[in-house]
């Protein structure tokens, strides 16, 4: 059976060059990077190099990069660590209502500890308005966290404008850039970002590793107590091979960014045109002018997104409804809901997310299978409607 992977927003394939760079650290160079002997030093050299690679990708200093177990930990740490370290200054936090669950769930928990959280609305394209942010801003606002690129609809927020507003205040600005790194040029100084979350497996690196950038001087309490790893701010024996892979993945990601963006834009434009031509009664969700091309979220009238997902899966095509974290649970997309989509458009949404490995032939195959699936499901749903009418 043909296999087509269109779920690159959930995770990406491991790049072969990245694997090659990791292999020695999974075999010969097995020392604990915190050990003082040569085995440890060899491992630490790999970690140091990766820290430089990550730092230079975002315009930071190496000493401002802290490795974590992924984007989720980076987000948990940023929100909770900054909230705790600044509690004396205030207890108010502002986030958008379309953040990743690792931000929103942490905020919910902080509310139970006496913090007050404002969840900014978004417009019907998924954009946060700077005016809304200013409206919610208070003298005791200690932290603002807005994601750069949303993982369900691909909308790119006005991060620099937000950073610009916050730069002369005492409020710390955190940005979840996990989904942005694969397509956006990120410069923490240019965008006035104080803390930034990244993850390796969204940029063709290994899973289970990420990083939090924390600008020098930004108060943040540590979450994971233990050894003195990560400049004494995050305990735990270092994931050397994973970090080495993450560093390499980031270096390649930056090097190939323009080419990747161009190729994925061509693919996704081709896909959208073809779907619009082949399938009537659809809506493309998100902000078409201000989004990454790699994510295309479509609502198909009269059908259930999950049914489409299953029919595509039967023919080897991998897509997603909402985010990977939300599927499998009955909870429907909080992002599409926040954009004000009605229940039927939320239920019928499917996310297609493209990567550098995808081809035009795969798109042709996908649209062919998709058109068949939607036609079939609409026929069934029309039958169901008729049956209901007859019963009445
Ligand atoms: C994937 C993702 C995360 C979580 O990162 P993990 O490394 O998988 O824990 C956080 N935020 C966004 C926007 C994501 O897309």
Task: Please state the three-class secondary structure of 271-334 as a single string.
Answer: HHHHHHHHCCCEEEECCCCCECCCEEEEEECCCCHHHHHHHHHHCCEECECCCCCCCCCCCCCH
Domain extent listing, the chain = 4-12+258-381, 16-255
- Please tell me the predicted confidence (pLDDT) of residue 332: 86
Answer for the pair 212, 197: CB distance below 8 angstroms, yes or no: yes
Distance (Å, whole) CA 158 – CA 219: 25
Distance 76 CA to ligand 1 centre (A): 11
Question: Which residues are 66's β-sheet partners?
Answer: 212
Q: Which atom of ligand 1 is nearest to 207's Cα?
A: 7
Q: Which atom of ligand 1 is nearest to 151's Cα?
A: 15
- E strands, 42-171, are 65-68, 92-96, 116-120, 141-145
Beta strand 141-145 pairing with 172-176? parallel
- Please tell me the predicted confidence (pLDDT) of residue 392: 45
Query: 16-255 architecture in CATH?
Result: 3-Layer(aba) Sandwich (3.40)
Distance 146 CA to ligand 1 centre (A): 14
Distance 313 CA to ligand 1 centre (A): 23
Q: Which atom of ligand 1 is nearest to 149's Cα?
A: 13
| pLDDT < 70 stretches in the chain | 322-330, 383, 386-392
From 10, 11, 69, 70, give the residue whose CB has the most ligand 1 atoms within 8 Å, as the site to mutate.
Answer: 70
Closest C-alpha to ligand 1, atom 5: 71
Q: Same CATH topology for 4-12+258-381 and 16-255?
A: no
Closest C-alpha to ligand 1, atom 10: 71
**Beta-carbon count within 10 A of 37 CB:** 9
Burial (CB count <10 Å: 0-12, 13-18, 19+), residue 89 = middle
Distance 178 CA to ligand 1 centre (A): 6
Q: Which residues are catalytic?
A: 325
Q: Which of 285, 292, 289 is nearest to 348 (CA)?
A: 285
Residue 165 DSSP SS3: helix
Q: Which atom of ligand 1 is nearest to 150's Cα?
A: 13
Distance (Å, whole) CA 30 – CA 44: 10
Closest C-alpha to ligand 1, atom 3: 71
Lining ligand 1 with CB less than 6 A are 70-72, 75, 100, 102, 147, 151, 176, 178-179, 199, 201-202, 210
Answer for the pair 221, 84: CB distance below 8 angstroms, yes or no: yes
Domain 4-12+258-381 listed as CATH 3.90.1150.10: yes
Answer for the pair 245, 21: CB distance below 8 angstroms, yes or no: yes
Kindly state the helix (H) or strand (E) to which residue 247 belongs, with its residue range.
Answer: helix 240-255
Answer for the pair 174, 196: CB distance below 8 angstroms, yes or no: yes
């Amino acid at each position: 059976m043909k296999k087509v992977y269109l779920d690159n927003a959930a995770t990406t394939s491991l790049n072969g060059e990245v694997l090659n760079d990791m292999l020695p650290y999974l075999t010969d160079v097995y020392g604990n990077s915190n050990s003082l002997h040569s085995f440890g030093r060899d491992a630490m050299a790999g970690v140091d190099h990766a820290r430089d690679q990550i730092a230079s990708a975002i315009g930071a200093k190496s000493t401002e990069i802290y490795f974590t177990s992924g984007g989720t930990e980076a987000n948990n740490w940023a929100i909770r660590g900054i909230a705790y370290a600044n509690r004396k200054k205030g207890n108010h936090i502002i986030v958008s209502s379309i953040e990743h669950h690792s931000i929103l769930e942490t905020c919910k928990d902080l509310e139970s500890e006496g913090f007050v959280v404002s969840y900014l609305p978004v417009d019907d394209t998924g954009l946060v308005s700077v005016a809304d942010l200013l409206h919610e801003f208070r003298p005791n606002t200690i932290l603002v966290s807005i994601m750069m690129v949303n993982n369900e609809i691909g909308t790119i927020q006005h991060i620099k404008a937000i950073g610009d507003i916050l730069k002369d205040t005492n409020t710390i600005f955190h940005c979840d850039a996990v989904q942005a790194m694969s397509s956006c040029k990120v410069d923490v100084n240019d965008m006035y970002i104080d803390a930034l979350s990244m993850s390796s497996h969204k940029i063709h690196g290994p899973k289970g590793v990420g990083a939090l950038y924390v600008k020098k001087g930004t108060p943040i309490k540590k979450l994971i107590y233990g050894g003195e790893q990560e400049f004494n701010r995050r305990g735990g024996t270092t994931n050397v091979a994973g970090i080495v892979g993450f560093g390499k993945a980031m270096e390649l990601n930056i090097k190939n960014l323009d080419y990747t963006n161009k190729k994925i834009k061509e693919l996704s434009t081709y896909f959208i045109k073809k779907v619009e031509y082949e399938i009537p009664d659809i809506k493309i969700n998100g902000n078409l002018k201000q989004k990454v091309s790699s994510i295309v979220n479509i609502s198909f009238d009269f059908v259930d997104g999950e049914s489409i997902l299953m029919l595509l899966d039967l023919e080897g095509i991998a897509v997603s409804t909402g985010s990977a974290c939300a599927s499998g649970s009955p909870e429907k997309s909080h992002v599409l809901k926040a954009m004000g989509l009605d229940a039927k458009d939320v239920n019928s949404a499917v996310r297609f997310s493209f990567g550098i490995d995808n081809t035009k032939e795969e798109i042709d195959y996908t649209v062919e299978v998709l058109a068949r699936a939607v036609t079939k499901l609409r026929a069934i749903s029309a039958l169901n409607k008729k049956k209901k009418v007859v019963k009445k």
